[in-house]
Amino acid sequence: MKNIFVISLVTSLVLAVLWSAGYRLNLTRSMPLGLYRITDGSIKRGRLASFCLEDVEYITLARNRGYLAAGSCASGLRPLLKVISGVAGDRLELPNGSIAVNGEILAGTAIINTDSQGRSLPPSRLVPGVIPPDKVLLLSQHHSGSFDSRYFGLVPLATLRLVEPIITF
């Protein structure tokens, strides 16, 4: 019993040190499993970003349905990890329930009406048009059922933290 306590304590301390150094562990299906690190740099398509949901309806949905585990966001939920798929000035289109940026349809981003358990999802908050200077489109093409901008809409730039993969599986 004492060994389990020591192992738990050491593991907790290691995780706390890694967390404070900007390392994050992704265990969700929407992006590759692995270790990521918060980094600096410019906002551009293709970069990874971590962010906290701010929309109360989607925070409640994520909590009630277990889409997000407990975490460090003000909502008490874990931050999301997604790819920056559209930036200021890009043209966002929604042809036939898919998402297109600057005329290119993004594979694996169809907007669906139900989650993996068949429960209805609220209507998408995405609106076709030019992405404004203070927002970005965040998606995952890694998993077609990803909980991302296809549902809760564009995300404020101010909430983003750029992330880079360290070890992924």
Mean pLDDT by 10 residues, the chain (169 residues): 83 77 87 94 97 96 95 94 98 96 96 94 96 98 93 96 95
pLDDT value of position 3: 85
pLDDT value of position 18: 76
| Three-state DSSP string of 63-115 | HHHCCCCECCCCCCECCEEEEEEECCCCEEECHHHCCEECCEECCCCCCCCEC
Instruction: Report the C-alpha gap between 143 and 107 in whole angstroms.
Output: 10
Cβ partners under 8 Å of residue 52, min gap 6: 73, 74, 75, 77, 79, 80, 159
Domain 23-168 has CATH 2.10.109.10: yes
pLDDT value of position 77: 96
pLDDT value of position 14: 78
pLDDT value of position 8: 84
65 phi, psi to nearest 5 deg: -100, 0
131 and 125 in contact (C-beta within 8 Å)? no
